[in-house]
């Protein structure tokens, strides 16, 4: 495959970092986003120490105009985006009866609106090129639901609905749109959970362990490749057998 510009939103977290590195290893020019000014400097330095030159652009993925400005800069400075990984996401957990409206709005805007906000900016270029990959990161909890996560589960379920509909719209343009639904992955956030709680989670996973960020990244790299050109509108679960459907 010839080099593509690969944009990964939320690329500085555990899964996002692994995705950025794997796509760079596949020969693509990788770009990621950050929201807080200055946040990118240390992360970018660490990546360079490991041999990865990953471009960073400030963007509020929950804001349509911010996404439009960011993608325009990427296009002007590097070229049109050919691979988009919508990975940005947050949690604001709480029981529905006690959930503040702001917790609902923040999660839906960051986890679901962002998928529209960014994809809308890159789609015309993909159609013009007659090639593109849109890969949306959902969650096991978008498939089965989760206590205390009505906002998160709703947003992540919506991500795959978006994928299925858009996949039908752009299939004839050589663009595939797919969803990945990870289970519990051994990121810093999960490893920071109390050991007894983490052990309870692992006990519910048939393979008996947490997933690795690199495993999700490998799946992203495959979907982004020409070898996956016949797969579109799919939701690939990678959760160690914790939820099967």
Q: What sign has the CA pseudo-torsion 123, 228, 22, 27?
A: negative
Q: If DSSP codes are grouped into helix, strand and coil, which group holds residue 5?
A: strand
DSSP run (H or E) holding 176? strand 175-182
Q: Which residues pair with 133 in a beta bridge?
A: 83, 176
Gyration radius (Cα) of the chain, Å? 17
| Half-sphere exposure (Cβ direction) of 225: Cα atoms closer than 13 Å | 14
Tokens of 175: 């663009």
At 36 the pLDDT is 86
Domain boundaries, the chain: 5-185+214-235
Instruction: Estimate the crossing angle of helix 64-77 against helix 114-129, to 10 degrees.
Output: 30
Any idea which residues carry the catalytic annotation?
152
Q: What is the pLDDT of residue 160?
A: 98
Q: Classify 29 as helix, strand or coil.
A: strand
* Domain covering 5-185+214-235 in this structure, CATH number: 3.40.50.720
Q: Tell me the C-alpha distance between 93 and 51, whole Å.
A: 37
- The residues of the chain scoring below 70 in pLDDT are none
Contact at 8 Å (CB) between 84 and 134?
yes
Residue 172 is predicted with a pLDDT of: 98
pLDDT of residue 154: 98
């Amino acid at each position: 495959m010839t080099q593509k510009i690969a944009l990964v939103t939320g690329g500085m977290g555990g899964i996002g970092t692994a995705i950025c590195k794997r796509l760079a290893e596949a020969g693509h020019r990788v770009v990621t986003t950050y929201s807080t000014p200055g946040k990118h400097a240390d992360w970018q330095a660490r990546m360079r120490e490991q041999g990865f030159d990953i471009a960073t652009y400030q963007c509020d993925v929950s804001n349509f105009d911010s996404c439009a400005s960011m993608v325009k800069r990427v296009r002007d400075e590097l070229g049109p985006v050919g691979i988009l990984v919508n990975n940005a996401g947050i949690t604001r957990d709480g029981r529905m009866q006690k959930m503040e409206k702001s917790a609902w709005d923040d999660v839906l805007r960051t986890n679901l609106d962002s998928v529209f906000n960014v994809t809308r900016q890159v789609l015309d270029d993909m159609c013009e090129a007659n090639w593109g990959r849109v890969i949306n990161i959902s969650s096991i909890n978008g498939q089965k639901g989760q206590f205390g996560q009505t906002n998160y589960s709703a947003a992540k379920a919506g991500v795959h609905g978006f994928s299925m509909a858009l996949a039908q719209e752009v299939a004839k343009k050589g663009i595939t749109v797919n969803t990945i639904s990870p289970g519990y992955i051994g990121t810093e956030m999960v490893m920071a959970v109390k050991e007894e709680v983490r052990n309870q989670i692992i006990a519910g996973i048939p393979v008996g362990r947490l997933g690795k960020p690199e495993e999700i990244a490998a799946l992203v790299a495959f979907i982004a490749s020409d070898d996956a050109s016949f797969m579109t509108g799919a939701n690939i679960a990678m959760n160690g057998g914790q939820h099967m459907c």
